A and B are shown apart, each in its own frame.
Chain A
């Protein structure tokens, strides 16, 4: 079954973020907020995970939002409308639990993590919750989907590290203010590991702030996504081993030992760089050949 790209567009002005719609009717049919897929672009490609950022059951499409960080994501960015992706597997992972909470829910998206926040915010909003969204990025060119997030939020706060849009600072700054001002039932944080670590720390009942249940989305390195390789494993603070692909990706942020995970991310760094550099070189050569 070929998985055709029906739409592709750049997000923001950074040139590193893009959105694609893929024709995958069976997956769209079963997708829910919290699910992800594994893709393999071509015969020699890696299997790598991407969140289902949106889905349209009528059209049979799923939407992915991708940030270019290495070879596989760059290769995906070079696929155009009409191209086909070799393998798409999913929906994987557990859907998030949707219910009505007593107090508002704070949903925090950092960088490309804004995308997976969208279906969660949408479904929780539809269940009658009050949604306060905080979107964070290094700079405003890396922000996207403000309009979509506004539509599913009661309040939207933006924070950029350089102050180019919204509050100048980290997402934890407005979070701290919210936590000290009003009762919050749930915090959801999706973004870079370090951001999730700091959010989980802030909601763990420190500095006189209340302890609030916090879900984080673990983007560990994965191979099969079915609980069979252990590549995605992460330890909880009590030393137990968990598999993010089958127990997550959304898990209780207060039980995760982030320091170990931050380190596990670096396992293949040297190889990833090699693969990335080779591919960029190859692309440059191809461009030159095309020019001549």
Chain B
């Protein structure tokens, strides 16, 4: 049984920021990442981030991952465990079970920060199990991490930011994008991303969806159709598209299995991607000592994930007695950064989701 002070699960933007902040506060931090490298989804993001300089706006996601990792590796009070999977959390004694290179480890942290990220949502249509139907993140991994050309011609489903950005990245990698379909009446991602692909001649078809995938052993095409204003298929509106890949960018769901196991109070909030843990303003869940940050706390942009991570890391360190006179100011600044990121029409969905979140029993949500 290994004892630890703060364990952070997940080495993406939220987990890295949580570990950095907690370590800067003076706590001893262990970060556990399932992949062989840190960075999470940042390592696939070739586009420059928006927001403010505090969240590295103007820097490409992949470079942000390197910045955060270098900063973390320079700290003596940080332990980094890569290629290890946290299998479970046992609330009876607060133990984590971990598979680390075919060995089994038991770890008891004083504080736990869950930054496990999200998984891709799926879509129901005939033949959706054919090889060639890929999540948008998978296509990004192939081309941006491994430098493998993912396809010749892609049909993209979903015109949110991920669908739009990945379409642009596909064009950069020399892949044809047949069309981007969006079931909603309007493009839901940022128009700056939509304009980039529209200028390159890719049609974005709103009120359209996929009816079925075609092919025997792999994808050879798709039938698409138009939807009416009640989201029902319009008869005789079918069109056949030739493509070897159908890319699904229809949203993400928080990965919160460990939070369920820990007995955290959970709530279903569609705007946040599914079930999320109730938490206070310091990102502590209803179970004292367990914190949540990033997509695991509700699907949002990486910039917000980094700020949530910092908040969680700060509160976890504070609760262990690692405090400094600047903490109050830092907390206020981080909360302000979150408010700024969620301001404006782009943050409307997140704001509406967060408003529905019940206050935690021990920590009533402050009305601001």
Are A and B part of the same complex?
A: no
Binding site for A on B (CB under 8 A): none
